[in-house]
Structure 1
Amino acid sequence: MLMWLKRYALIAAGSLFVAVGAIGVVVPVLPTTPFLLLAAACYIRSSPRFYRWLLGNRILGRYIRDYLSGAGIPVRTKITALSLLWLTILISVIYFVEITAIRALLLIVATGVSIHILSIPSAKAR
C-alpha cells in the first residue's frame, strides 16, 4: 500500500514540477532547469514512462539532457535561481525564523546550493 502511495505522490509532484518548469520557459523570472530536474528525479523513481516522455520532450527535454550530459545550464538560469534562492532564504531568516541555529542552518544550506549551482558548467542561452 505504501509503495503505491509513494509512486503516485512522486508522479503528482513530478507533474507539478513539470508545470512550473514549463511556465519558466516563458516567464523570465522563473527558472526552468531546477524544476525540470526535480520532475525528472520524481519520475525516475516512480514512472519510467513519464521519465522517458520528459527526456524525449522536444522543448523541455533538452534542459535535462544538457544538464545530465554536462553541457550545463544557461547563465540567466543560474542568476535567476541564485537570486530567488537568496531572496527567499534572507526573507525567511530576517522575518520568519527566530531560532539562531535554524537561521544558521538555512544559510549553510543556501551556501551549499549556491556552490553547486555555480559549479555546474554554463550553457549557451536558449
Structure 2
Amino acid sequence: MKIVYLTAGLIFFIIGLIGVVLPILPTTPFMLLTSYCLLKSSDKLNDRFIRTKFYREHVKPFKENKGMTIKSKLVIIIPVSLMLLIMAVLIDNTVMRIVIAVLLTVKIVVFSRIKTIKTEVLNDDE
C-alpha cells in the first residue's frame, strides 16, 4: 500500500508543480494531496517535503489556518485572470471562450469560498 501512496504522492506533486505555471490547474490542493500521500508512504519523504520552501510558503499556512490571506488570494487570482482574459481575446473560437469564462467563474467562486485570514495569524505561528 505504501507504493500506491508514494506513486500517487509523486503524481500529485508533479501536477502541483505544473499548476504553478499553468493557470488552469490549482496548486495548493495537489500539494495538500502530495503531503497526505507522502505522509502515508514514508516519514522520510514527508519530512523532506515539509522542509521545502514551497510547502512553508503555500501549503503550511493554508493547512494550519484553513484559509489564505487576501494578498495570497490576489497573487493567485489576478495573474491567472489576466492570462485567461488575454487567451479569450486572442482565441477566435466561441467554445474556447465559453470554457475560459467557465474557468474564470469557477476560480473566482472557489477562492471566494476559501476563508480569508489576517496576516497576523500567520506571523503568530512562526
Equivalent residue, structure 1, for 2:86:
91
Does the 8 A contact of 2:77 with 2:108 survive in 1? no
8 A contact 2:9–2:34 mirrored in 1:
yes
1:27-42 residue pairs with structure 2 within 5 A? 35=27, 37-42=29-34
Alignment partners' CA distance in 1, 2:109 and 2:71: 19
Paired position in structure 1 for 2:110? 113
Matches within 5 A, 1:1-126: 8=7, 10-14=9-13, 17=16, 35=27, 37-45=29-37, 47-48=38-39, 49=42, 50-55=45-50, 57=51, 59-63=53-57, 64-70=59-65, 72-96=67-91, 97-99=93-95, 101-117=98-114, 119-124=115-120
Shift in Å, 1:80:
1.2
- After superposition, the Cα gap between the structure-2 partners of 1:82 and 1:101, relative to the gap in structure 1 and judged at 3 Å, is closer
RMSD: 3.8
* Aligned residue-pair number: 108
**Conservation of the 8 A alpha-carbon contact between 1:72 and 1:123:** no
| Unpaired runs of at least 5, structure 2 | 21-25
Shift in alpha-carbon separation, 1:116–1:95, aligned structure 2, 3 A? farther
TM-score w.r.t. the length of structure 2 is: 0.55
Aligned residue number for residue 23 of structure 2: none
> Matched residues, percent identical?
13
Unmatched runs of 5 consecutive residues or more in structure 1: 22-33
Give a deviation string over 1:80-103, Cα, whole Å, max 9, x none: 111112112212322235215424
